Amino acid sequence: MKLKLLFIISIVLFLPGCTQKEIVSVIGDKDSMVAINYPVTDSNILNEAISSYVNKVYNEFKKNQKNYEKPELNISYTYKEVNDNVISVSLSTEMHTDKTVNKIKTFNYDKKNDKFLAMEDIVENLDALDYDIKKALLEKYREADMDFLSNVTYDYFTIDNKNLTLYFNPVELNTKNMENVYLDIPLDSLKLLIDIDKEKDDNVYISIKKKNIDYDKKVVALTFDDGPSKYTSEILDILKKYNACATFFVVGNKVEFYSEQMQRMLKEGSEIGNHSYSHKWLNRLSREEFQNEINKTNDIIKKETGFTPKLFRPTYGGYSDKLKAYTNLKFILWTVDSADWKVKNTEKILNNILPNVKDGSIVLMHDNHSYAVKALDEIIKNLKDQGYQFVTVSELLEIENLRQNE
Ligand code: ZN
């Protein structure tokens, strides 16, 4: 498994000349807890910088994970097109091996001038704010160490249409804080050297398409985890071809990148569920961190589509009663596992699914590689021929309820 994962990553990282904007997403299972998501932009130079950094971190993880029981690597990102030329990206790494490592890396790239931007290219005289920044840091992170703070530099930052965000590696501040440390500085308080596009903040409101379902006939719910991705459109095309639907348990930090596909899911009768924001192993998180993963994801889905998910699928299928008590979302697992990402073979995927589907089954597939997409047409055609109706997970729960009360 670990070898295979490495292989996937090497291919992804060394694709030459690829300028299609998308998210690269490598997500393992509970035997190999790796979740790496990062953007591919329309600039090759920036892409190379990002992928070589990810590669370096992955190699470091590989070296340190030996003999450690539950190693986990999580790389998540933020992405912002600040104006037509400038892209601002952050990569946040959390690594659990014999020691826990949190670190941050940022890239601010000017496409027009082919140049990575430093703080002095973006903000005039940040030093004037030095005292205020350190004061704010001490207020926000009370355990921060003053000696460390005096040496802090502003090397890691991103910018969006509201804030300049400064990031600090926890070791630099000597905090006990697990997560990366950051501070938002409102743009109003800065003298900027670049133009910022004020983004239009139009909210979209779409509701799930209504369908006629015969409650007495067989039903099945297809589910796709780990998307949205560059494969989502193709999945939606196949669903549409058969007038079928699915439930997409999406990873929050990818949602903005595939806003159109997210809206299409709802318009065409599919449902969106929550699969956390950055695909970390949930059992390791505090209550606050867990709720943050869930709320951030629901917020961004609501912003992009107007829909608020009510269902949650735990990452790596791992959860506890304690976690369940921390949220109102309903935990949804599956009854049929395609193992699509593992078997990577249409015939085997069909074999894992078709003989095992029963009335009321929930089928697990993944929306971050091509394997499930290739099998999907045949899966739907076959199940339709057997008389199955395709429903979302919420519809399935509703039908089970109605049947029980009959
Ligand atoms: Zn997942």
What DSSP letter does each residue of 270-329 carry, written as one string? Answer: -EEEE--SS---GGGS-HHHHHHHHHHHHHHHHHHHS----EE--GGG---HHHHHT-SS
- CA–CA gap between residue 366 and residue 372 (Å, rounded): 7
CA of 125 to the centre of ligand 1 (A): 44
Which of these, 264, 254, 286, 278, lies nearest to 368 by C-alpha position? Answer: 254
Which listed CATH number (3.50.50.60, 3.40.140.10, 3.20.20.370, 3.30.1490.20) goes with 219-404?
Answer: 3.20.20.370
Write b or e for each residue in 210-229: b if 16 or more Cβ atoms lie within 10 A of its Cβ, otherwise e. Answer: eeeeeeeeebbbbbbbbbbb
Among 106, 124, 125, which Cα is nearest to 116's? 106
pLDDT tens digit sequence for 179-227:
678 899 999 888 889 888 766 444 455 555 667 788 889 999 999 999 9
What is the tens place of the pLDDT at every residue in 261-311? 999 999 899 999 999 999 999 999 999 999 999 999 999 999 999 899 999
What size, in residues, is the chain? 406
Residues with a beta carbon under 5 angstroms from ion ligand 1: 225-226, 315
In the reported structure, the alpha carbon of residue 280 is separated from the centroid of ligand 1 by a whole-number distance in angstroms of: 9
Domain ranges of the chain: 22-117, 120-189, 219-404
Q: How many helices (H) and strands (E) does the chain have?
A: 14, 17
CA–centroid distance, 318 to ligand 1, in Å, is 10
Per-residue pLDDT reduced to its tens digit, 276-288: 999 999 999 999 9
d(CA 258, CA 305): 11
Q: Helix 232-241 vs helix 371-385: angle between axes, to the nearest 10 degrees?
A: 10
CATH topology (fold) of 22-117: Heat Shock Protein 90 (3.30.565)
CA 269 / ligand 1 centre spacing (Å): 22
Distance 286 CA to ligand 1 centre (A): 19
pLDDT at 93 over 50: yes
Contact 194, 118 (CB under 8 A): no
Comparison of pLDDT for 207 and 155, the residue scoring more: 155
Q: Measure the CA–CA gap between 315 and 101, rounded to whole angstroms.
A: 20
Please list the active-site residues: 225, 366
